[in-house]
């Protein structure tokens, strides 16, 4: 057989195979039991959106639950923390308006290629279950791979093998924090009068807007490194300007978890925002509280009981802090730890080094911490046992 004849045979075979696949595909689409191009994937959902009470998002071994509580969407597994209503509505509307633009396979063995196999231990397919008040299932849909040319998402109704491509991009996330407004605190610089670490390191903002590091009575430790002092100057004013979180839990274990870092506070006209930091493993957690009228003896200027009017604080935001603790993003963790190290050195509690006193205030602080400043570096309590110089209290 000549080379030309061989190529002709190959081309004819390819055409026959391609034709067979096309016929099979057309037969699958022609025989699709329900729906077609231009029809809604979930025909009844649009009319029932107001009755949706619960949404379950499942992928692999992860499940996220969203419920409607008194008109607001919350995460019951995350202390009932409120979610961004606009994001939840985007999910529901995208499903309610999902329109079929292509009818695909109805063969279960082909679902995996579209990421529509269910159940799916590999976590490629995603399930959205929508329930009404009292528990009736309104819709269950398997969400598969997204496409960009043309733009759309593979999907099928659970219990129905027929697969489709819809013309919408359907949002999906089992990490509940992605559905939340993760902004904990925003304090515009012009509203902040002072920022504290404990009662002893203070920076105040002058009328010109410049920040000043206020020394304690008697001055700082003589050997506090200037680099550490500069770290406080540059970090402290912005420490509480904005706080975001990555995880939220009930604060029932906060006081017993990890190790304490420090307390910080920001003075504003209406009161004081107080933040307590603790470290647990590699993570830094915090709690927040608002004390109206606690800034420099000023009376609250707001109209509400929390004195929050006219600031970035609102009664709703302050209420979100109550009974909860929050995990900081990693980049803020490093900032907090650097600030703690700089603050520790200002009072001599670092590296077991002997302490040089500038005033009685520092002596009292170290006494409260259970540290004997006169002991050698390797035996700070002076009893010869080589411990860290801290006393049981």
Q: What are phi and psi of 375, to 5 degrees?
A: -75, 155
User: What does each C-alpha distance from 25 to 2, 21, 31, 186 come to in angstroms?
Assistant: 35, 6, 10, 56
**For 153-165, b where at least 16 C-beta lie within 10 A, e where not — what string?**
bbbbbeeebbbbb
Domain definitions of the chain by residue range:
29-179, 183-346
How far from chain centre, in Å, is Cα 231? 27
Burial class (CB in 10 A: 0-12, 13-18, 19+), 116: buried
Strands (E), 167-323: 183-186, 192-197, 201-205, 211-214, 242-244, 247-250, 259-268, 271-280, 283-292
In the prediction, which pLDDT does 297 show? 41
CA gap 336, 56 in Å, rounded: 36
Query: What are the beta bridge partners of residue 243?
Result: 185
* DSSP, res 218: T
* DSSP, res 163: -
CA gap 58, 65 in Å, rounded: 9
The residue behind tokens 């012009």 is 190
In the prediction, which pLDDT does 10 show? 55
Q: Which residues contact 381 (CB under 8 A, 6 or more apart)?
A: 372, 375, 387, 388, 389, 390, 391
- Give the angle subtended at the CA of 373 by the CAs of 367 and 376, to the nearest 5°: 145
pTM, 2 dp: 0.73
CA gap 224, 93 in Å, rounded: 59
Helix or strand holding residue 338 (H, E): helix 330-346
pLDDT < 70: residue spans in the chain: 1-35, 221, 223, 294-312, 343-393
Compute the half-sphere exposure of residue 158: CA atoms within 13 Å on the CB side of its CA: 17
C-beta of residue 140 within 8 angstroms of C-beta of residue 130: yes
In the prediction, which pLDDT does 34 show? 47
In the prediction, which pLDDT does 290 show? 95
In the prediction, which pLDDT does 293 show? 81
């Amino acid at each position: 057989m000549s080379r030309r004849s061989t190529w002709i045979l190959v081309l004819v075979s390819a055409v026959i195979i391609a034709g067979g696949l096309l016929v099979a595909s057309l037969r699958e689409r022609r025989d699709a039991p329900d729906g077609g191009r231009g029809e809604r994937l979930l025909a009844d959902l649009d009319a029932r959106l107001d009755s949706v009470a619960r949404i379950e998002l499942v992928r692999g071994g992860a499940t996220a639950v969203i419920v409607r509580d008194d008109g607001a969407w919350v995460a019951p597994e995350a202390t009932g923390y409120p979610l961004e209503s606009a994001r939840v509505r985007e999910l529901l509307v995208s499903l309610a308006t999902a329109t079929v633009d292509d009818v695909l396979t109805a063969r279960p063995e082909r679902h995996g290629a579209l990421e529509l196999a269910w159940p799916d231990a590999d976590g490629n397919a995603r399930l959205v279950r929508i329930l009404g008040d009292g528990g009736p299932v309104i819709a269950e849909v398997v969400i598969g791979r997204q496409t960009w040319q043309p733009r759309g998402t593979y999907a099928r109704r659970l219990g129905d093998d027929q697969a489709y491509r819809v013309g919408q991009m359907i949002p999906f996330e089992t990490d509940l924090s992605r559905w939340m407004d993760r902004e904990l605190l925003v304090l515009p610089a012009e509203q902040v009068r002072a920022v504290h670490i404990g009662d002893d390191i203070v920076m105040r903002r002058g009328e010109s807007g410049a920040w000043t590091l206020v020394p304690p009575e008697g001055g700082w430790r003589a050997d506090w490194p200037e680099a550490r002092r500069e770290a406080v100057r540059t970090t402290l004013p912005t420490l509480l300007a904005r706080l975001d979180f990555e995880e939220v839990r009930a604060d029932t274990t906060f006081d017993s978890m990890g190790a304490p870092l420090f307390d910080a506070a920001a003075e504003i006209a209406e009161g004081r925002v107080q933040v307590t930091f603790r470290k647990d493993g590699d993570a830094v957690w915090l709690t927040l509280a608002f004390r109206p009228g606690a800034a420099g003896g000023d009376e609250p200027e707001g109209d509400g009981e929390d004195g929050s009017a006219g600031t970035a604080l609102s009664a709703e935001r302050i209420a979100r802090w109550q009974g909860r603790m929050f995990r900081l993003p990693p980049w803020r963790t490093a900032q907090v730890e650097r600030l703690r190290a700089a603050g520790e050195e200002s009072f001599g509690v670092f590296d077991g080094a002997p302490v040089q006193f500038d005033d009685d205030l520092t002596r009292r602080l170290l006494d409260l911490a259970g540290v004997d400043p006169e002991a050698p570096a390797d035996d700070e309590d002076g009893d010869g046992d080589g411990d860290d110089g801290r006393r049981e209290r």
